[in-house]
Structure 1
Amino acid sequence: MDRPFPRILPAPARLAPASLVPPVLAVLLAACAGDQGAPLAPVAVAVPSEAPRTTGRERPAADADHAKLVASFGGEYKAPAALRLLTEVTDRLVRATERPDETYAVTLLDSPVPNAFALPNGHLYATRGLLALASDTSELAAVLAHEIAHVTLRHASARTEMALRSELVSKVVADVLKDPSTGAQLQDQSRFVLARFSRAQEFEADQAGVRTLARAGYDPFGASRFLTALNRATALRAGGAGGAEPDLLATHPGTPERIVQVTQAARRIGAPGLGSDDRARYLAAIDGIAYGDNPADGMIRGHRFIHPRLGIAFEAPEGFSLDNTARAVLGSTPEGSRRLLFDAVETNPGQGLEEVLKATWNDAIETDSFENRMVNGFPAVTAVSRGKEWFFRLAAIRVGTNTFRMIMAAKGSVDPEPAFGRWLASLAAVGPEEARALRPLRLQVVTAGPGDTAEDFARRMVVPDRPLERFQALNGLERGSRVRPGQSYKLVVE
């Protein structure tokens, strides 16, 4: 597999402060908005005989676990109009399911990543990033209907039981029957079976969700529109370098395949235009909500990354696009031949920076390449590592009590210097005045007038690159399509 950062150890620390999701929720969470895998032909979902069929919803998470989960996704986001809409849509959908007596507690999360998930105990979560991406109420309802379907179909219980039984069988074979080799083989096989079962559940939830969507009076084609927007947003986030590499162990089918499936399901119900999308009310409810990163977790402004809590900032070299993820800041050139990674690492007391690089990088580092230097008053160590297909420049920098890594990779044998040197030299402290001045971006809903064009609106977008493509993706517009006078559209503004 051709990856620029194939063996970074251990897993990098989060740049943003967050609590860990409770272990009991790892299997139960059904985070379904992200594109997490390769296309897979749908298969009939049959709960294995050894998995109990539940007749009531379980309560796997106490209030304390709920609080930890919410904290791990950035905390609750306060937007009364948006939360009220979420709750009303959820109630309307539940009445259209086969279990209309069940109730759900809806939580809006302060995360920029489009995501939603449900727990078997009736907790339903959606992120502000999801609200920003959807363009009407039927698209939002499509995501919520999918998550509700996971609960009504008791998917989490079956998946948990399969995982626990697979683990138990492997352990018995390895420990009791004294056959660790067969136990490991069974465990590997069970991972593929569980992944395929989980992906099949996603297809089943998609189909059930579209039916519920239509029964509730929403446009059943809202599901395909939202997944199309998600696919476009994912491609933009990846820098246009193509879709994600297929992962046989992914728990979700690929978004393009899901689009085909939900479109076919909607067509079986009726022609486009059936049901309401309630676009005007939806856009009014999300007007003004925060967009993108929370300043406390670091923000990207053009080619600059700023983290006021950590008191640092750096400038990406020309040609790189940045993405601030929960675990690291990633960057790439459009063709993917040069990439960078910036993250925080935990260190032991008294551990030198050279040892930090050795401990967190599992490829060979050229011994004579280590160099001590000062970067804008911060001690740093740089080094070189050469893989089979990538040339790496590495740095560990100590800023106060924090230690960071800066890694740049160039495909082939080309040394990424001097771009790496410019990037390293750009790392600097952020003053309190600049930190206080940082404000999150927000969505602004505007109405197109006569003569307005998509290009006009794109010029008003505060985004790192490709403003026209981002405006079109954010508003569900095809490339080359025109804005309609009197129609409302979303912009990203300061």
Structure 2
Amino acid sequence: MHLVRLTILLNSLLALLLLQGCATNPVTGEQDFVLMSEGEEISLGAKYHQQVLQEMSVYADPELAAYVEQVGQRIARVSHRPQLDYHFTVIDSPTVNAFALPGGYIYITRGILAYLNSEAELAAVLGHEVGHVTARHSVRQQSASTATGIAGTILGAATGVPASQDLFNVFGKAILSGYGRKQELEADRLGALYLARAGYDPQAMLEVIGVLKNQELFEQQRAREEGREARAYHGVFATHPDNDRRLQEVVAEAGQLKTGTRARVGREEFLRHLDGLAFGPSEQDGIIKGNRFYHKPLNFGLTFAKGWSIDNRPDRLLAIAPEQAAFMQVEVDTLPGPMKASDYLKQKGLKDLRKLKPLEVRGFRAYTVTAPVTTGFGKRTARIIVLFDDQRAYLFTGVARSASNQQLFDGVFRDVARSYHHLSAQEKKLATGLKLSIIKARASIRFSVLAKISPIPRYAESELRLLNDLYPGGEPQAGQLLKIVR
């Protein structure tokens, strides 16, 4: 009887939610299940916009910011919700991404800007995100999650199991992985429609998808070589390959709305705004120069063995030996106060520290031990080194792919840690980031030649092709404007 009463209560609650939570969708004109008014949506977006600004840096280029804002507002004015106060923000991140929050807050990274090649393509990316806002995708997703959470809370009260719902987690998942096939395709359809209304060719949406698919192919190639999972942009192409045909259809449908005037492309103006754009990790995240790593904000440098490739990731620095024979990663933690090496390593999950001993590193407090770790190629014994500098701990972990080679690389791992030092005045000058430069291609120039003189640390030829939408095998034409890296 208790279960029957609970079922009746849940059904009554859900019926009430459906009755009170219906609103007209601005795009479709149909009734949607939402538990948020437009005013609440705008307030929520403003709240989480501040959280985004706390967690992500805004790219410091007022001219580029004004240009992106101008293109974004051009799209927003012809959308289904032109009354919203839209905000377009360029995020200082090399990650290829764009995302939207409720109420008209749109974000695009400098990472994705680098790989676009016209204003129309920029408008397509922004149009896709505006489509998420106008169709209230995040609001609908949050409402469904909240309804589930309410029901879950009642169930929890009845069963003694608590339930909770963090709204930002709902939006965070959409930022990282998208909204699912149906809503991503709807955002593409709306974006293509807004492109046509704003005077751009809707085919730019397909061009952007092509750019992103090439990114995905390149990422898959890198992941295979590095023995890891591939990371992907959250857009529609990542959810299902069959969407290509449907995407062609929605773009063709939008193309029928084009005006008689010539569609705006804006390639030269767009590239002019990209000249000098930061490429790859910013100076705030550390700079790779050959086999050396410089981090100006934290005032330290490292030297890796020649021939090793270095990958500066958001959460760690990863160095890979030729033929992936060994790997070493460096992580940095800010400490609340003085800490023993043993206490710190225990916090990191190491248990047997009986053989922990001091390591001489240019006067810095450092300790080392070997410990079992689980890697992508099985369980191994790793060389662990922790170094303390000011209020930070630097954790070095080195492991050979083949267990029999661990001793062979052990000295290399130690040498990397021993190379830790504060930057000299000359090194601080070297710790400047890479930037895009726009040039006009000379006759017979080839990417293989440009790659040899490029400062891009890894996969330079492939990166240059991707930057210029000529991946995997195209070559520049004489007189063509090219993006290179300096």
Write the distance in 2 (CA, Å) between the matches of 1:326 and 1:132: 18
Partner of 1:377: 363
Aligned-pair distance for 1:485? Answer: 1.3
Partner residue of 2:159 out of 165, 178, 184: 178
CA distance in 1, matches of 2:115, 2:265: 15
Counterpart of 2:180 (choices 172, 177, 199) is 199
Give 1:87 deviation, angstroms. Answer: 2.3
| 8 Å CA contact 2:120, 2:201 repeated in 1 | yes
1:88 Cα deviation from its structure 2 partner: 2.5
Deviations 1:4-41 (A, max 9, x none): xxxxxxxxxxxxxxxxxxxxxxxxxxxxxxxxxxxxxx
Cα displacement string for residues 174-194 of structure 1 (whole angstroms, at most 9, x for unaligned residues) = 3x11343xx68999xx99xx9
Superposition pairs of residues 469-480 of structure 1, within 5 angstroms:
469-480=462-473
> Which moves more between the two structures, 469-478 or 228-237?
228-237
Deviations 1:136-178 (A, max 9, x none): 112211110111011101112122223333333333323x113
After TM superposition, give the deviation of residue 490 of structure 1 in Å: 0.4
Structure with the largest fraction of helix: 2
Match for 1:77 among 60, 73, 96? 60
Deviation at 1:356, TM superposition (A): 1.0
CA RMSD of aligned residues (A): 3.8
Matching residue within 368, 374, 379 for 1:390: 379
Q: Which residue of 1 is the match for residue 204 of structure 2?
A: 222
What's the secondary structure of 1:177's corresponding residue? Answer: helix
Structure 2 unaligned regions, length at least 5: 1-27
The reply to whether residue 291 of structure 1 matches residue 279 of structure 2 is: yes
Aligned length: 436
> Which residue, 139, 153, 165 being the options, matches 2:147?
165
Instruction: Give deviations 1:432-486, integer Å, cap 9, x for gaps.
Output: 4422453232111001122322233333422002221111011100333221112
Match of residue 422 from structure 1:
415
Residues 1:347 and 2:335 aligned together: yes
Is the counterpart of residue 403 in structure 1 residue 364 in structure 2? Answer: no
TM-score with structure 2 setting the length: 0.77
| Counterpart in the other structure of 1:312 | 300
Contact preservation (8 Å) 1:106, 1:123: yes
User: Equivalents in 2 of 1:124, 1:264: separation in Å?
Assistant: 26
Whether the 8 Å contact between 1:170 and 1:186 is mirrored in structure 2 is no
The answer for unaligned runs of 5 or more in structure 1 is 1-44
Q: Secondary structure at the match of 2:75?
A: helix
- Supply the distance in 2 between the matched residues of 1:356 and 1:46 (Cα, whole angstroms): 57
Aligned to 2:86: 104
Q: 1: CA distance between counterparts of 2:314 and 2:247?
A: 30
State the one-letter code of the partner of 2:446.
T
Greater length-normalized contact order (CA 8 Å, ≥ 6 residues apart):
1
- 1:119/1:151 contact within 8 Å kept: yes
Residue equivalent to 2:427: 434
Tell me the distance in 2 between the aligned counterparts of 1:381 and 1:232.
Answer: 44
Instruction: State the TM-score, normalized to the length of structure 1.
Output: 0.76
Question: Which residue in 2 is equivalent to 1:330?
Answer: 318
Please give the secondary structure, in 2, of the residue aligned with 1:86: helix
CA drift of 1:131 comes to 1.8
Task: Note closer, same or farther for the CA distance 1:95–1:172 as it changes in structure 2 (3 Å cut).
Answer: same
